[in-house]
A and B are shown apart, each in its own frame.
Chain A
Amino acid sequence: MAHHDPTSARRRHPQLVVEMTNPDGALVQPTESPQRLVDIVFRLREYGIIVVLVVFIAVTTGLQPRFLGQANIRFILLNATIYALLALGETMVVVSRQVDLSVGSVLGLSAYVSSNLFAQVHGIPIPVVFLAGLGIGLVCGVVNGVITAFARVPGLVVTLATLYIIRGIDISIIGGGEVVASSLPAHFVAIGSDSVVGIPYITMCVAVVIAAGAYYLRSFRPGRELYAIGSNPDAARLVGIPIGRRIFTSFVASGAIAGVAGVLWAAYYGTVDSTAGTGYELTVVTAVVVGGVAIFGGSGSVIGAAFGALLLSSIATALYALNVSPFWDPALDGLLLVLAITLDRGIAVRLAGAMRKLTFRHEP
């Protein structure tokens, strides 16, 4: 704490404060403004997950050099891709202090209906199939969004209900049947498995989408407003943010993303039955929270969430590589989540203390 001494000195000598916080004062160091401090801390949190990931991979590779083999990297990336994509939509919802529990069911429905199109319509172009998945996701997202935003029912409850309803619809459509890889065109299955220089196509596409989403949330007004809503809904309403519309949009986006993720899921796994995507919702929420998104909204980033998904996927693969029983996977994930939120809490408490100190100094 290099700044500790000057701060306390200013607190003891108010006249010094006036001098130091002069509006044109170059004396004020940029790191001392509360906003800068918050920015830095959150960037640290985002980088923190990357550091954890790098350390984890380094340690695992030290123990088992084959962990960084090309095939293994490809496996980890493919595994993380769908979770990371879902985490993008989930982050948009969670930063505005809602949660979308229906993503797993939407993914399952979209995966079945879209891949089943190949059997029903001969020679259907692949982009049309993706559009179908997108459409299913959009419809589900609109339903979630309308009920949450305009009936003002908490998203947790609404999406818990639609989780059941959409899965129920999925099961009634499928019955006992399933789509098998042999009924899918080779081009389509290739989407889920082909790669360039060791990096799968879909991972690259998803990375671009995530980057675009991150940029949007960071730098565009509606994106920033989602953070404002999650940070303090009342303040957001008072400054004129259209809360209902923003929340509606975030649910629609999350649904649409889950719909597309469903098509990718079908291309990746090839076999789709009525259990596709079961339980994904909680894994996605775990990835998002491990990636530094506050569960009650207002902070966190899409990039962090994507790295959270990558970390979870790496852990699962590392257990295989290290010959540890895969039974350890859920326990480690859970432990990681508890550690991550405990750490966040510690940072938040420290930050609140530091901000109080700084704001105190700014008072005349």
Chain B
Amino acid sequence: MNPDPVTAAGASAVAPPLHGAETPVPSPTPGVGEPPPSDTGLAHFSRLRVLARWEVALLAAVVVVFVVGRVVSPQFLTSYNLFDMGISNGELAIMALPMMLIIATGEIDLSVSSTLGLASSLLGLLWMHGWPMPAIIVVVLVCGAVLGAFNGFLVTRVGLPSIAVTIGTMLLYAGIGEILLGSNIVSNFPATYTNIGVYGVPGIGLSYSTVIFFGLAIIFGVVLHFTPFGRSIFAMGANQEAAVFSGIRVKRTKTILYIVSGIICSGAGILYTFKLSTAEYDNGTGLVLSVVAIVLLGGVSIFGGTGSIVGVVFAVLIYSGLLDALLLTGFPQQASGIVIGGLLLLSVLVPSVPEFRSRLRAGRHRLRGQAPEAAIAHSGPVAQMRVTGDSSSKAGQGGQPI
């Protein structure tokens, strides 16, 4: 029952591909029992090529969306429309950044839109009670940090699965927001603040949320790709045991990320409230799935360990550009889910095509009785530790305990 020797073996066996992950490798989203990354230099090289292809493909998609958008509607590239695009999607885009980091560690945070809603409620409530606005903003951000810390505590210290925890806190935070503000609608905010929904940043013309998003994206990109802290995020996403054994403080890092997510999402809540000039308890409901969709579209594996901020930024551009172009051409707005969902499906299916073909080939080889190296490598249970990293604790809960 003691998993230690196995884990140790797993850690050493998977170390080489971990080095391979030195360059961010998005794409092939590993399915359950995906062929593990082989540690030959050749495979590493081909993974690099996949990376290049994925981000290039996203960039191409961005170009296509904006060119087609310009063709179908002359208004598409006007400064007014770009401002409008940013106003509609800025908060979504901002929340995608911390979400990307959290998914890269192999966890998830489904409570982001509820944190936004709770921040909006709190903002409205405190304003109703006559607090000064700067104090309110500080309190709301601190509150966001506390919400994030609670998620982080449950996930890292109590050791609960993040998807279940954050479904729970998604309901909980949205519920607290409802309790705080009830059916009140607060909308008498001072114009100095609500002007962000009407005017862009002077000299740039884009909305404040857009500019904040790009600023944050640069910070997140630098931290993620060029600092030891950022590298450790990929390391723990690729193989948590190996990360622990190499001295990375996994729990602390994840807690920090959840706190960052809480602060940023409550900040997004403030922007959201000011842009609508309305604080309501159900502000931002349902945004979370769009945020996750954007991050996955950006090439981040749902199992963690891969992805890049550049990919997420491209995904944000594709998402907002496409929605806006569809809107301008009179496509029913909600039905644009077909397009978003289709993109998301494509983004996970396309990278898995080469793997699918190699699996078919391996199957044919096996039929002929000559197992290729790949098939052997794929069947190694140790190498698959990454996919089933947590199974040791659950072994024996099924019908047949080992």
Segment touching A, from B72-80, B174-182, B207-215, B246-254: B174-182
A110 at the interface (CB under 8 A from B): no
B150 nearest CB across to chain A (Å): 9
Given contacts A168-B334, A335-B172, A338-B154, contact A161 B352 (CB under 8 A): no
A296 at the interface (CB under 8 A from B): yes
Given contacts A153-B352, A334-B171, A359-B1, contact A233 B387 (CB under 8 A): yes
Check A158 against B388 for contact (C-beta < 8 Å): no
Complex Cα–Cα for A342 and B172 (A):
15
Contact residues, B127-186 vs A (CB, 8 A):
154, 158-161, 163-165, 167-176, 178-179, 182-183
B359 nearest CB across to chain A (Å): 8
Complex Cα–Cα for A200 and B370 (A):
61
Contact residues, A224-239 vs B (CB, 8 A):
224, 227-228, 230-235, 237-238
Check A345 against B160 for contact (C-beta < 8 Å): yes
Chain A residues with CB under 8 A of B340? 164
Chain A residues with CB under 8 A of B303? 154
Given contacts A168-B336, A231-B394, contact A330 B341 (CB under 8 A): no
Chain A residues with CB under 8 A of B182? 325, 327
B121 nearest CB across to chain A (Å): 11
Q: Which size class do A's interface residues fall under?
A: 35 or more
Residue of B at shortest CB range from A162?
B341
Partner of A328, one of B179, B183, B344, B355: B179
A38 at the interface (CB under 8 A from B): yes
Complex Cα–Cα for A232 and B160 (A):
18
A291 at the interface (CB under 8 A from B): no
Max chain A CB contacts within 10 Å: which of B160, B167, B397?
B397
Residue of A at shortest CB range from B29?
A153
B348 at the interface (CB under 8 A from A): yes
B227 at the interface (CB under 8 A from A): no
Main DSSP-derived SS at the A contact region: helix
Segment touching A, from B31-39, B83-91, B236-244, B261-269: B31-39
Given contacts A175-B332, A238-B381, contact A330 B399 (CB under 8 A): no
Residues of B within 8 A of A (CB-CB), count: 72
Contact residues, B301-359 vs A (CB, 8 A):
302-303, 332, 334-342, 344-345, 348-349, 352, 355-356
Segment touching B, from A6-14, A77-85, A185-193, A282-290: A282-290
Complex Cα–Cα for A166 and B338 (A):
7
A183 at the interface (CB under 8 A from B): no
A64 at the interface (CB under 8 A from B): no
B283 nearest CB across to chain A (Å): 14
Check A152 against B32 for contact (C-beta < 8 Å): yes
Check B341 against A289 for contact (C-beta < 8 Å): no
Complex Cα–Cα for A230 and B393 (A):
13
A160 at the interface (CB under 8 A from B): yes
Residue of A at shortest CB range from B334?
A171
Partner of B175, one of A158, A168, A286, A332: A332
Partner of B338, one of A101, A172, A282: A172
Check B396 against A164 for contact (C-beta < 8 Å): no
Complex Cα–Cα for A348 and B159 (A):
11
Can you give 18 contacting A-B residue pairs, CB < 8 Å? A35-B400, A35-B401, A99-B163, A148-B31, A152-B31, A152-B355, A157-B344, A165-B337, A165-B341, A165-B345, A166-B341, A168-B341, A231-B394, A327-B178, A331-B175, A341-B165, A342-B158, A348-B394
User: Given contacts A164-B340, A168-B337, A168-B338, could you give 13 more A-B pairs where the C-beta distance is less than 8 Å?
Assistant: A38-B397, A151-B31, A152-B31, A153-B352, A154-B30, A162-B341, A168-B336, A227-B399, A295-B163, A298-B394, A327-B183, A330-B178, A348-B397
